[in-house]
Chain A
Amino acid sequence: MVEFAGFEMPLRYSSVREEHLAVRGRAGLFDLSHMGEVRLTGPGAEAAVQLLVANDVSRLAPGAALYGVMCNEAGGIIDDVVVYREEDGFLVVVNAARRAADVEWMRAHLPPDARLRDESDGTALLAVQGPEATATVRGLTALPLDGVRPFHSAPAEVAGIACRLSRTGYTGEDGWELYCAAGRAPELWDALLEAGSSRGLVPCGLGARDTLRLEAGLRLYGQDMDETVDPFSCGLGWTVKLGKGDFLGAARLRRLDPDNPPRRFVGLALGERDIPRHGMAVLSGGARVGEVTSGGFSFSLGHGIATAYVATDLDPEAPLSVDIRGREAPAARAPLPFVRRALH
């Protein structure tokens, strides 16, 4: 068990490798109740989200979600979030470690006709991820799951418990995230575990969550980005909608060249015995040209992988290596995600 943002969380239930491979091949169950849920309601709710988040929620249908970043006035990322349009407002899902800073920032910039409620303490979040995830959830709900497309959600009863059932995740696999009242979460956990056990579903901890998201090329706040990094520099320019009108950070982001930001975010593939780690130097021709933001062993691919920042003016063909405790380990540029979902 480890302490994480005030929560006691397991790094693993069995082994990270087993849990990782279960999610890629079958299904895994995660308790993500540490994540923060902030609800925005009132006539000004949409204007509030449009001001706070760099992505454009204006055309988001009820139930639909999008990924985006909240930026400070300097264009640095305060947090990366998932925003759902609900029937009567918006649900913003934030990182646990950023919740206090996010809520303070959001309150400070809230239009007078919008209301904010931090519902994190009363809300639990469980996730079922993997090729068997949909079959696992299907037996527990009357909601026709095939009608819920990726990055969409719907209110539904699952195992008799009121949930928001969302086709989203942080693993690169098909799967579901279930928001429910905190008090009902143990019951929901047991029901999902039982429903999935015949399909090979296993409970998964923070360790597998990290190795899965890295293979899927998904960013981790605090490691891949922070308040000093703009969204273009970490490959999240696709979430920035400069044409939508004014938003926090827009003035600064408009002065950047989206194709040539201050730093470039790249994927790196290394050898089977080369495990890059956060903070290791990226070298080219013996000189330091960047830094690993996230790294580890890919259980799916059988070799080391990393995401890194490199200098924008670096020749895209220049050979790279990672300084692994004094040894130069060759690193090939690799497109993100490292691992794509298998078609089933």
Chain B
Amino acid sequence: MPDLSGYRFTSTHEWVRRDGDEATVGITDHAQAELGDVIFLDLPAVGARLEAGARFGAVESVKAASDLYAPVSGTVTAVNEALREAPERVNQSPYGDGWLLRVSGAAEGSVELMDEGAYLARLEE
């Protein structure tokens, strides 16, 4: 298990890892397990604006299409291009190689961000 102490989680199963003004966004291990094999991702382009709590894309899996919600606001500075050819990275490494986006000017909005313990407890409910 990777060290997730720097990760914060949403009730809609995204994660965000802050690094100062920058942040990386992905989906949780629970989400990828529930979705099953990821077939492709609909992600915004570099330069797009994320609003905390707003839909920013979708993940299409063997099971269903699921919307993605931004854990923080910010401007997209990078999209994980490797996922175009290898979407299975989201399944294999949701907290590492399977990251989705990087954003700058990351700012928290009204979205509740939980630490790992609180997120796992939420899953138990």
Residues of A within 8 A of B (CB): 11-12, 15-17, 207, 211, 272-273, 275, 277, 296-297, 324-325
User: Judging by beta carbons under 8 Å apart, are B62 and A297 in contact?
Assistant: yes
Which of B40, B42, B64, B88 is in CB contact (< 8 Å) with A17? B88
B38-66 CB contact bits vs A (8 Å, 1 = yes)?
01101000000000000000001011110
Chain B positions within 8 Å of A273 at CB level: 40, 42, 60
Chain A positions within 8 Å of B104 at CB level: none
Whole-angstrom distance between the alpha carbons of A88 and B6 in the complex?
A: 68
User: Judging by beta carbons under 8 Å apart, are A16 and B37 in contact?
Assistant: yes
Besides A211-B62, A275-B65, 10 more A-B contacts (Cβ < 8 Å) are: A12-B36, A16-B36, A16-B37, A17-B37, A207-B37, A207-B63, A273-B42, A273-B60, A277-B65, A297-B62
Chain A positions within 8 Å of B63 at CB level: 207
Whole-angstrom distance between the alpha carbons of A17 and B86 in the complex?
A: 12
Cβ-Cβ contact count across A and B, 8 Å cutoff: 33
User: Judging by beta carbons under 8 Å apart, are A296 and B62 in contact?
Assistant: yes
B91 at the interface (CB under 8 A from A): yes
User: Judging by beta carbons under 8 Å apart, are A277 and B64 in contact?
Assistant: yes
Chain A positions within 8 Å of B39 at CB level: 275, 297
Chain A positions within 8 Å of B64 at CB level: 277
A-B contact pairs, 15 of them (CB 8 A): A15-B36, A15-B37, A16-B36, A207-B37, A207-B62, A272-B40, A273-B40, A275-B39, A275-B60, A277-B64, A277-B65, A296-B62, A297-B60, A297-B62, A325-B65
Report the nearest B residue to A211, measured CB to CB.
B62
Whole-angstrom distance between the alpha carbons of A16 and B64 in the complex?
A: 13
User: Judging by beta carbons under 8 Å apart, are A207 and B60 in contact?
Assistant: no
Residues of B within 8 A of A (CB): 36-37, 39-40, 42, 60, 62-65, 88, 91
Chain B positions within 8 Å of A277 at CB level: 64-65
The 9 A-B residue pairs with the shortest CB-CB distance, nearest first, are A297-B39, A16-B62, A17-B37, A16-B37, A15-B37, A275-B60, A273-B40, A16-B36, A207-B62
Whole-angstrom distance between the alpha carbons of A11 and B63 in the complex?
A: 10
Whole-angstrom distance between the alpha carbons of A273 and B39 in the complex?
A: 8
**Chain A proximity of B57: nearest CB distance (Å):** 12
Chain A positions within 8 Å of B88 at CB level: 15, 17
Whole-angstrom distance between the alpha carbons of A11 and B64 in the complex?
A: 14
Chain A positions within 8 Å of B40 at CB level: 272-273
Chain B positions within 8 Å of A275 at CB level: 39, 60, 65
Whole-angstrom distance between the alpha carbons of A12 and B63 in the complex?
A: 12
Whole-angstrom distance between the alpha carbons of A11 and B42 in the complex?
A: 25
Whole-angstrom distance between the alpha carbons of A325 and B60 in the complex?
A: 12
Do A11 and B65 form a contact, CB below 8 Å, given A17-B88, A275-B60? no
Chain B positions within 8 Å of A272 at CB level: 40
Report the nearest B residue to A325, measured CB to CB.
B65
Whole-angstrom distance between the alpha carbons of A296 and B36 in the complex?
A: 13
Chain A positions within 8 Å of B65 at CB level: 275, 277, 324-325
Report the nearest B residue to A324, measured CB to CB.
B65
**Chain B proximity of A171: nearest CB distance (Å):** 16
Whole-angstrom distance between the alpha carbons of A272 and B41 in the complex?
A: 12
Chain A positions within 8 Å of B37 at CB level: 12, 15-17, 207
User: Judging by beta carbons under 8 Å apart, are B60 and A15 in contact?
Assistant: no
Chain A positions within 8 Å of B42 at CB level: 273
Whole-angstrom distance between the alpha carbons of A296 and B39 in the complex?
A: 10
Chain A positions within 8 Å of B60 at CB level: 273, 275, 297
Report the nearest A residue to B40, measured CB to CB.
A273
Chain B positions within 8 Å of A12 at CB level: 36-37
